[in-house]
Structure 1
Amino acid sequence: MPSSASFQCITLSLLILPAIVLALYFLTSFPHAPDTLLVNPSLASLPKHSRSWQIYPEDAFAGGAYVSLPLGRTRYWLLGPEDGIKIVLIHGLSVPALIWKEIAPRLAERGFRVLLYDLYGRGYSDAPQTTHDASLYTTQLALLLQYIGWSGANICGVSMGGAIAATFAVQFPHLVQGDIALIATAGVLEASDMSRTSRFLSSPLMQFVTSSVPFRMYLQHLASNVSRIDNPSAELVRIQSAHLPGYNPAIASSIREGPVRALSPVFAQLGRQLRKRAKDGAPAGRVLLVWGTKDTVVPYRYSARVKSLLGEDTASLVTLDGAGHDLTLTRGEEIAGKLEAFFNGQDVKE
């Protein structure tokens, strides 16, 4: 008859052995194939009589086309002469390329070759159900540039688009052949600087709720029973939120995990990168910051922080007195003039 100690050893082995076998099975088994990526539709899926087609038609700019990228279709436009200086315009968090309507045509008329497009989850670009972080958007732009045959360009972004532009310049420096303009750029906002409403709406729970069918039906009911508003951009945001199932999750993910905050290291890296290029004798590229003093979304005080991160010798700041966060719409002609001078190699003064 086995001793008590032997009996305990046998019992322990019988308890441990199945756990070891199970662990080895999971460690050595082949992983399951990933599920098919869900891609939600864009504004192009709405009926032609929808209000969105009046505010922001598919042909809002000349030279429009679609490209099918791995994570969904992207809508883009190419304006201006083919031999003009190349500029990419990147919009921000919630309003698609409509935000450039006062600037893109003016730059094209002044001889620039302008590329603008809708980010994933906004406007006429599809909304992949994935994490909407900085790398998603920089990869989208890199693939788009490859598709249209551009080996490089000047880059200009507004709000979240500025943070995307800075990240793109760090991740794909060979594709930025020229200068960088950042208009009221996001990227350095900390969670404590954001409103409680923004933090609440971007939480995983609210992301699930706002993407649900009942919630969107409720928003559609509100949108159909509320009179039109004087601000087309705000109305377009409301329409996207109510009718596009991928829009609210894209916004929430961009706030929580995307290029809205915590990118101070990126701006610092961009400054070091540009200074190193200058030290090595290569065309270094310059950075222009444009900011409004009445900006309540990305307050003007952040301009000094971004400029400090980039380096005083790398970045210059143009202050627009009295301008808010919608400065590309309200001060479009003035900003277009600043960008024209800057991308033509001139020093831009306030």
Structure 2
Amino acid sequence: MPSLNPLSPHPGSMPFLHLGLGLALGLLTASLLLKSSHPTSHAPSPPYIPAPQRPGPNNSNPEHPYPPTTSQTHPYPPTALPGGRDVATPYGSIRVYEWGPASGPRVLFVHGISTPAPFLGDLGHEMVGRGCRVMLFDLLGRGYSDAPSDLPYDARLYTTQILLVLASSPVPWTSFHLVGYSLGGGLCVSFARHFPHLLQSLALIAPCGLIRRHHVGWRSWLYYGSGLLPEVVVRALVRRRIRPQAATTAADTAPASTDMLATEGEARQVDGDGDSNGGAGFDSTGISKHRPGVTVGSVVQWQVDNHEGFLTAFLSSIRNCPVYAPQPDWNALASILKARRTQDPDVTSNTGLDSGKVLVVLGDDDPVIVKDETIEDAMAVLGPEGVEFAIIKGGHEVPITRSTEVAQVIEDFWVR
């Protein structure tokens, strides 16, 4: 994503900008006093910020290394998904999950900006039930993956992470289906642009990369693009902004049924900035049918409170990843897809994305990735023959609440 400095708030929000700037000046004075009260350290920064320490192991029972109570009560235990492993890389440790038949079709999932791998766990289970081999992983700075402290969190970093994850598998991943959600959708477009020959298909669930600039409210402009606030103030404000305040367990809310979520129209309304969450209905959604009582909000809250690198990763991702339109990667992918459809020998000598189109799955009531705008803009970039849409009832949480339906439309797309 290009620098956010050119971003400006929507014209209608300009009166609020003055209020924000007044607040900023007051916070600036406080932050300078705070910074002056601490001695400056000249020690070199480590190359990465470690992920949270895992819940204590149960050494008395090697077959069940984590106590059952931990798995039930911790928002994100290491046993949340099958086939977990830690991959040592130059960027720190990466948490990876891989399971399913070794001979089945491969499916790699890439999650969103604030939700680690378990958010897409139900979708992974659905695809394994259809005979697939699946792999999920925590993006750097999320979940149990470390957070590099000396690099921008951009598409280049995450493309490298995907390659590292693929190389860590005990089975070959030289041809696979790629599925990206939200921020992960934008990252998957970037990956597909450079490595289309590895992909059998590309499915994007509520993808970023085409969000129109008028959705950038004054707070996002002030925090991420204006350069008016010192970083210590930005971090404090954003930490407060993205930390869910909703109930942390489903027992504190109404049952996370899809019917209830489908009617939460008012709860889905976001205040003009879609950077922090998907609305109250998103935070209160149960993380998985396999983990009753644990909500999306509780997992995000755990990250904010326990992963010292999460805020760094979140801020840098907003500033550097392919979030807002226009994105050159989408135009480059459009050329690749067109060449596949026209059988251009200069491009089709390497197989991959042979259908010449991508699947875009959208929630009809998503306040972050607006359905009508995304359809219009994806059609304009990829062309009517380069994209297929599936509209599913729900908001930004459709990969959880409609995992069976999402899995079905992805599988149907493969065979068409």
Quick one: distance in 2 between partners of 1:87 and 1:209? 41
Q: Which residue of 2 aligns with 1:270?
A: 333
Counterpart Cα distance in 2 of 1:254 and 1:199: 14
Residue 304 of structure 1, CA deviation: 2.1
Amino acid at match of 2:232: F
Cα gap change, 1:169/1:192 in structure 2, threshold over 3 Å: closer, same or farther?
Answer: same
The residue aligned with 1:141 is 162
The one-character-per-residue Cα deviations of 1:212-269 (angstroms, maximum 9, x if unpaired) are 7xx98x99xx99x996343311121122112222111111111111121245321121
Residues 3-152 of structure 1 correspond to what in structure 2 (within 5 A)?
Answer: 37-45=46-54, 54-129=74-149, 130-148=151-169, 149-152=172-175
Using the TM superposition, give the Cα deviation of residue 112 of structure 1 relative to its aligned residue in structure 2, in angstroms: 0.7
- Check whether the contact 2:179–2:204 (CA below 8 A) recurs between aligned residues: yes
For structure 1, list consecutive stretches of 5 or more residues without a partner in the other structure.
1-34
Pick the structure with greater CA Rg.
Answer: 1
Highest RCO, 1 vs 2 (Cα 8 Å, sep ≥ 6): 2
- Which of residues 361, 372, 376 in structure 2 aligns to 1:290? 361
1:76-106 deviation per Cα after TM superposition (whole angstroms, max 9, x unaligned)? 1112111111111110110011111221001
Cα RMSD (Å) of the superposition? 2.9
Counterpart of 1:40 in structure 2: which amino acid? I
Structure 2-normalised TM-score? 0.66
User: How far apart, in 1, do the equivalents of 2:395 and 2:78 lie?
Assistant: 27
State yes or no: 1:261 paired with 2:324: yes
Say if 2:364 is the partner of 1:306: no
* Structure with greater proportional helix content: 1
- Residues matched between the structures, number: 304
Name stretches of at least 5 consecutive residues in structure 2 with no aligned partner. 1-43, 58-68, 251-283, 285-294
Match of 2:307 in 1: 244
Q: Is the 8 A contact 2:180 2:187 kept in 1?
A: yes
Secondary structure, in 3 states, of the residue corresponding to 2:168?
helix
Q: Is the 8 A contact 1:202 1:251 kept in 2?
A: no
Q: Percent sequence identity over matched residues?
A: 31
Cα distance, 1:274–1:125 mapped onto 2, change above 3 Å = same
**Cα gap change, 1:52 to 1:202, in 2 (>3 Å):** farther
Change (3 A) 1:47 1:39: farther
Give the C-alpha shift of residue 314 in structure 1: 1.4
Q: 1-side partners of 2:87 and 2:100: how far apart?
A: 20
Q: Distance in 2 between matches of 1:266 and 1:226?
A: 36
Q: Deviations over 1:12-50 (max 9, x none)?
A: xxxxxxxxxxxxxxxxxxxxxxx6653112234566788
Q: Secondary structure at the match of 1:111?
A: coil
SS state of the match for residue 122, structure 2?
coil
Counterpart of 1:208 (choices 199, 216, 232) is 232
Is the contact made by 2:247 and 2:298 (CA closer than 8 Å) also made in structure 1?
no
Contact 2:86 2:96 in 1 (8 A): yes
Provide the rounded CA distance (Å) in 2 between the counterparts of 1:107 and 1:194. 35
Q: Note if contact 1:264-1:309 (Cα within 8 Å) is conserved in structure 2.
A: no
Counterpart Cα distance in 2 of 1:319 and 1:41? 39
